[in-house]
């Protein structure tokens, strides 16, 4: 399924964020949130699949931006509750709704949201309501706290959002979207993204530059390179450590996704040495004993110790080995 975003967005977040299928449910609600932070990036980084927070939203709104994060065709994880006593007050809340997050202009205890941000959210709400035929009223435009047990959206007044959204829509409820008087001819479709000849880092840079779509579409386009590319994106955008990145890339390499020799070197680029170090450190290595060899000599050849080889092979006597015997040396 192709991605769907409002035409009002000023950009898309390239991070791979938490999402799931809508399961065939129709979109009939919009849920308004606040970030509980004055830093939009701090908020959006918690929505990445690499984050333990297990949350996300379709849009992030600031005084000057409307950022697409999850395609409207997918369900974001924004109002499903935390389990236990925190049960949603509507059925299938994530599957039926679009979640809009707003950056705060002040912190606790007021958690204010700038008027310019509210205006942008109202414009976005009006656009969504037009496209999905959602009435612009407080039964369909909800504060997060009206769905689950939370104080969200802080100091943001959802009544004001609804009032402004009606104005931007044209003063009516969303009974029918308005058609443009002079529709523009559709632009030719862009060619599918190609990974051919590119290193993982080049692919990651393309992701950050919004050249590779997002969500499930991106995963499909990147194919076997998706996990490694996302690890590099997370390092560049979310500050993931190089050790974590190398471990992910090493696991993908061992799974056979990056080939061998020059092919692997080109794909891994500057990460090659670090990844190989991880692989060599964790690799299981065996040696077949040749006539005249001793455990101590084999240990020296493989830069390990006699005691380690004895332990790895449960040898009762280090002097009793024979030609053709297969020993684990690492």
Q: How far is Cα 31 from Cα 98, in angstroms, rounded to an integer?
A: 6
Question: The tokens of 314 are what?
Answer: 């449960």
CB-based contacts of 295: which residues, under 8 Å, 6+ apart?
A: 306, 309, 310, 315, 318, 319, 321, 327
Kindly tell me if the per-residue pLDDT of 179 is higher than 50. no
Q: Which residues pair with 48 in a beta bridge?
A: 17
**Torsions phi, psi for 168 (to 5 deg):** -70, -25
Kindly tell me if the per-residue pLDDT of 298 is higher than 90. yes
pLDDT in tens, 188-233: 555 678 999 999 999 988 888 888 877 777 888 888 998 888 888 8
In which region does residue 215 sit, left (phi positive, over 0), alpha (psi from -120 to 50) or beta (all else)? left
User: Longest Cα pair distance anywhere in the chain, in angstroms?
Assistant: 93
Q: What is the percent of the chain with per-residue pLDDT over 90, rounded to a whole number?
A: 56
pLDDT in tens, 110-167: 999 999 999 999 999 999 999 999 999 999 999 999 999 889 999 999 999 999 999 9
Specify whether the CB–CB gap between 122 and 57 falls below 8 A: no
Question: The tokens of 74 are what?
Answer: 């997918």
Q: Which residues pair with 101 in a beta bridge?
A: 33, 60
314, with CB counted inside 10 A (0-12, 13-18, 19+), is: exposed
Specify whether the CB–CB gap between 96 and 26 falls below 8 A: yes
Q: How high is the pLDDT of residue 185?
A: 52
Q: What band does 55 get if pLDDT is binned at 50, 70 and 90?
A: very high
Question: The tokens of 320 are what?
Answer: 């009793």
Q: Which of 56, 51, 81, 80 is nearest to 70 (CA)?
A: 56
Question: 286-328 — its CATH code?
Answer: 3.10.350.10
CB-based contacts of 251: which residues, under 8 Å, 6+ apart?
A: none
Angle subtended at Cα 126 by Cα 92 and Cα 169, rounded to the nearest 5 degrees: 145
Q: How far is Cα 70 from Cα 149, in angstroms, rounded to an integer?
A: 23
Number of Cβ within a 10 Å radius of residue 10:
12
Kindly tell me if the per-residue pLDDT of 101 is higher than 90. yes
Q: Which of 248, 242, 243, 244 is nearest to 226 (CA)?
A: 248
Q: How high is the pLDDT of residue 1?
A: 56
Q: How far is Cα 74 from Cα 58, in angstroms, rounded to an integer?
A: 9
Domain boundaries, the chain: 11-169, 200-282, 286-328
Q: How high is the pLDDT of residue 80?
A: 83
pLDDT in tens, 231-252: 888 787 766 678 888 888 988 8
Kindly tell me if the per-residue pLDDT of 16 is higher than 90. no
Q: Three-state SS string across 216-265, please?
A: HHHHHHHHHHHHHHHHHHHHHHHCCCHHHHHHHHHHHHHCCCCCCHHHHH
Question: 11-169 — its CATH code?
Answer: 3.40.80.10
Q: How high is the pLDDT of residue 220?
A: 84
Kindly tell me if the per-residue pLDDT of 86 is higher than 90. no
Exposure letters 180-194 (e unless 16+ CB within 10 A, then b): eeeeeeeeeeeeebe
Average pLDDT over residues 277-306: 87
Q: State the average pLDDT for the chain.
A: 87
Question: The tokens of 7 are what?
Answer: 């035409």
């Amino acid at each position: 399924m192709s991605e769907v975003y409002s035409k009002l967005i000023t950009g898309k977040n390239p991070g791979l964020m938490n999402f799931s299928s809508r399961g065939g449910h129709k979109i009939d609600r919009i849920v308004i949130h606040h970030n509980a932070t004055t830093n939009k990036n701090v908020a959006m980084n918690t929505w990445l699949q690499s984050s333990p927070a297990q949350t996300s939203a379709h849009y992030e709104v600031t005084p000057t931006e409307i950022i697409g994060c999850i395609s409207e065709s997918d369900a974001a994880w924004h109002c499903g509750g935390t389990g236990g006593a925190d049960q949603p007050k509507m059925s299938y809340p994530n599957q039926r709704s679009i979640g809009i997050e707003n950056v705060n202009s002040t912190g606790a205890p007021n958690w204010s949201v700038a008027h310019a941000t509210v205006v942008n959210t109202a414009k976005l709400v009006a656009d969504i309501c037009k496209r999905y035929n959602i009435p612009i009223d407080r039964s369909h435009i909800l504060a997060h706290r009206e769905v689950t047990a939370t104080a969200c959206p802080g100091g943001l007044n959802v009544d004001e959002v609804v009032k402004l959204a009606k104005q931007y829509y044209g003063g009516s409820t969303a009974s029918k979207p308005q058609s443009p008087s002079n529709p523009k001819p559709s632009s030719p479709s862009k060619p599918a993204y190609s990974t051919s000849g590119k290193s993982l880092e080049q692919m990651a840079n393309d992701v950050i530059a919004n050249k590779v779509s997002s969500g499930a579409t991106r995963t499909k386009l990147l194919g076997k390179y998706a996990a490694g590319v996302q690890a590099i994106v997370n390092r560049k955008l979310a500050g993931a450590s190089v050790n974590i990145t190398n471990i992910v890339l090493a696991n993908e390499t061992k799974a056979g996704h990056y080939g061998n020799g020059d092919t692997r070197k080109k794909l891994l680029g500057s990460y090659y040495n670090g990844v190989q170090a991880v692989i060599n450190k964790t690799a299981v290595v065996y040696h077949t004993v040749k006539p005249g060899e001793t455990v101590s000599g084999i240990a020296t050849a493989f830069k390990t110790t006699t005691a380690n080889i004895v332990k790895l092979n449960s040898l009762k006597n280090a002097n009793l080995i024979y030609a053709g015997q297969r020993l684990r040396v690492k």
